[in-house]
Amino acid sequence: MIAWKIGGDQGEGIDSTGDVLATVANRMGYFVYGYKNFSSRIKGGHTNYKVRISTTRVEAPTKRTDILVALNQETIDKNFSELDNGLLLADSVFKPMLPDNAKAQLLTLPLTAIAKDLGSVVMRNMVAVGASAALLQMPVDPFIQYVTAKFERKGPAVVESNRQAVEVGYQRIIEEYGHLLTYRLGEPHPGDRLVISGNDGIALGAIAGGCRLMCGYPITPATDIMESLVKWFPLVGGAVVQMEDELGSITAVIGAGFGGARAMTASSGPGISLMQEAIGLASVAEIPAVIVDTQRGGPSTGMPTKQEQSDLLALLHGGHGDTLRVVLTPGSIEESFEDAVEAFNLAEQFQTPVIIATDLSLSLWQQSVDRSRLNGPAQAIRRGATFSQEDLLALGANVFQRYQFSADGISPRSLPGEANGQYLATGVEHSTNGKVSEDPANRTKMMDKRLMKLQGVTQVRDGFKYEGPEDPDLILVGIGSTVGVLKEAAKQLGSNVGVAWFRTLSPFPSERVLSVLAPARHVLVVEQNALGQLRQLMTTHETTDSRYESLLKYNGVPFLPEEVVTRASALLTPVEVH
């Protein structure tokens, strides 16, 4: 496994360089995991992109960097400590200086000058691609093929200049530093894999789940969902509507759900806060709606481009009144796809808003995913309890009771436009026919009905997953993007450590949590917020005891497996008493 990293100023092609390397390595049969550090601005400020390339699946970031490509001195100053006898390739244009305590071999190459000689400084990133391929001792031909296909529509001249940039960067490294190249990837394992992000997984899952309308307002890090659906929806007859704000987005989705369409919106913390009243409307009026929250640093504007998992309590309890909504928490890109499919089924089956909670790392970072995991639902779309036109006509003189009481709390619905159906949906408390009612007895029964029906979610969904031994010394518990970190940490810790993660936060899978965690001698809950919100939820639902410890991080930087290993090792090491 090799970790490669490039850094420079935002707007200088850092992302495109990393994307090329990750895509080509994946196509060659390697597994990749790419993640970025970027500022909350469009141009300027330091950014870097690290790609882990391996012969086995990779699901987490890491501290170590083997090869660092620096386009400015700031990149060296900020990242040299990650190098442990690694290679540092720097553009000679800025006269790079390596700190005295750096453990790295400094190589210089006139990346900017080479690009200018080939026609444009813009091609510096392609020179860096070629140089990186040589440093990794990867063949140059796959990179040439990729560049040729990528720029083909721009004409032969553009293709040729970029091809030359890659080749010159590659050859210069071989000629000048070939004797220093020691990194070598193992044999690749070809397969049908894509390099995608969690946002891509959600967009693909929405399409597979029958969604044909997305109403949203741009916000980091959720915007990619909208942008992906703009490209893909026309292929299936769907549409994306950019609304005036988040309030318009959620209410449009609720209107579409009332009309029978599968619709969604996607946002982040600030947008979710604005949507809370409307989410309550969907809950009390029992209208399906799907909302994605890509969590980021908060509160308020917070840190829009940094990692955090601090919306959990808001997603479950935000808004006024006693409302429950389904909250799904995928822990991988594959699960993001699966949960997007299932969210629309749950929303219609239980006639309720469903929230998919991801986080910035899971949303934006890319990794290799088997295409077979993105083939669509194994089961048919579930519309839930409905009255057909024939059922409505059979009522005769009887009035359709849209909110009739039932054993499972779910009332069959009709769609607007059907004769003898129901046209009224209101956020005011109502009786079984939808008309306003403040009768105390009716109020109690309606509230109980809405709260009760969501318990059925636990019958159709496993809300808490586990991988590991039957009698573990330690179980690491997490959510979202930390799940991959915990799995890698568990491998480093040894065979008697397991990993458990939440797939559903609401309704809370209490029985499953108690069952899974019962054998563990220690439980470490790992989450990215300051208040320990996940552990709070576990305590509220009486699933914690003296075995539990927390590991929190809320500086905006993703967890590293090394950090989890350090804390877990302390729990597993007996304390000597003198």
- 162-218: pLDDT as tens digits: 999 999 999 999 999 999 999 999 999 999 999 999 999 999 999 999 999 999 999
Percent of the chain at pLDDT above 90?
90
- 321-345: pLDDT as tens digits: 998 899 999 999 999 999 999 999 9
In the predicted structure, residue 42 carries a pLDDT above the cut 80? no
Q: Residue 567: in which H helix or E strand, if any?
A: helix 561-572
pLDDT category of residue 578 using cuts at 50, 70 and 90: low
What does DSSP say about strands 213-216 and 239-242: parallel, antiparallel, or unpaired? parallel
HSE toward the beta carbon, residue 53, CA cutoff 13 A: 32
Task: Say how far apart CA 339 and CA 335 lie, in whole Å.
Answer: 6
Range from 9-13, 315-319, 355-359 carrying the lowest mean pLDDT: 9-13
Furthest-apart CA pair in the chain: how many Å?
90
Percent of the chain at pLDDT above 70?
98
pLDDT of amino acid 575: 53
Greater pLDDT, 573 or 553 = 553
- 48-74: pLDDT as tens digits: 999 999 999 999 999 999 999 999 999
Task: Say how far apart CA 428 and CA 394 lie, in whole Å.
Answer: 29
| Nearest of 367, 364, 490 to residue 53 by alpha carbon | 367
> Where does 217-342 show beta strands of DSSP type E?
239-242, 263-267, 289-295, 326-328
pLDDT of amino acid 378: 59
Q: How many CB atoms lie under 10 A from the CB of residue 232? A: 16
The dotted CATH code for 463-572 is: 3.40.50.920
Give the CA radius of gyration of the chain: 26
pLDDT of amino acid 324: 87
Angstrom CA distances, 504 to 144, 171, 350, stand at: 45, 52, 15
- 241-273: pLDDT as tens digits: 999 999 999 999 999 999 999 999 999 999 999
Task: Say how far apart CA 553 and CA 392 lie, in whole Å.
Answer: 55
Break the chain into its structural domains and give their ranges. 2-180, 195-374, 463-572
pLDDT of amino acid 375: 82
Three-state secondary structure call for residue 58: coil
pLDDT of amino acid 352: 97
For residues 475 and 516, is the Cβ–Cβ distance under 8 A?
A: yes
CATH T-level topology, domain 2-180: Pyruvate-ferredoxin Oxidoreductase; domain 3 (3.40.920)
Q: Which CATH architecture has domain 195-374?
A: 3-Layer(aba) Sandwich (3.40)
- 105-123: pLDDT as tens digits: 999 999 999 999 998 999 9
Angstrom CA distances, 180 to 21, 97, 135, 184, 488, stand at: 21, 19, 9, 12, 30
Please name every residue paired with 527 in a beta bridge, in sequence order, or none if there are none: 552
pLDDT of amino acid 493: 96
Instruction: Judge whether 2-180 and 463-572 match in fold.
Output: no
Q: Is the dihedral of CA 269, 503, 479, 362 positive or negative?
A: negative
Q: How many CB atoms lie under 10 A from the CB of residue 141? A: 10
Q: What is the mean pLDDT of residues 541-547?
A: 97
Q: Is the dihedral of CA 563, 569, 572, 577 positive or negative?
A: negative
Task: Say how far apart CA 404 and CA 306 lie, in whole Å.
Answer: 46
pLDDT of amino acid 425: 84
pLDDT category of residue 33 using cuts at 50, 70 and 90: very high
What are the structure tokens assigned to 495, written together?
A: 């065979």
Mean pLDDT estimate for the chain:
95
pLDDT of amino acid 396: 87
Angstrom CA distances, 101 to 4, 78, 82, 95, 440, stand at: 21, 13, 12, 18, 74
What does DSSP say about strands 548-552 and 522-527: parallel, antiparallel, or unpaired? parallel
Kindly state the DSSP code that residue 303 receives in the 8-state scheme: B
pLDDT of amino acid 39: 81
- 411-461: pLDDT as tens digits: 999 998 899 988 788 999 999 999 999 999 999 999 999 999 999 999 999
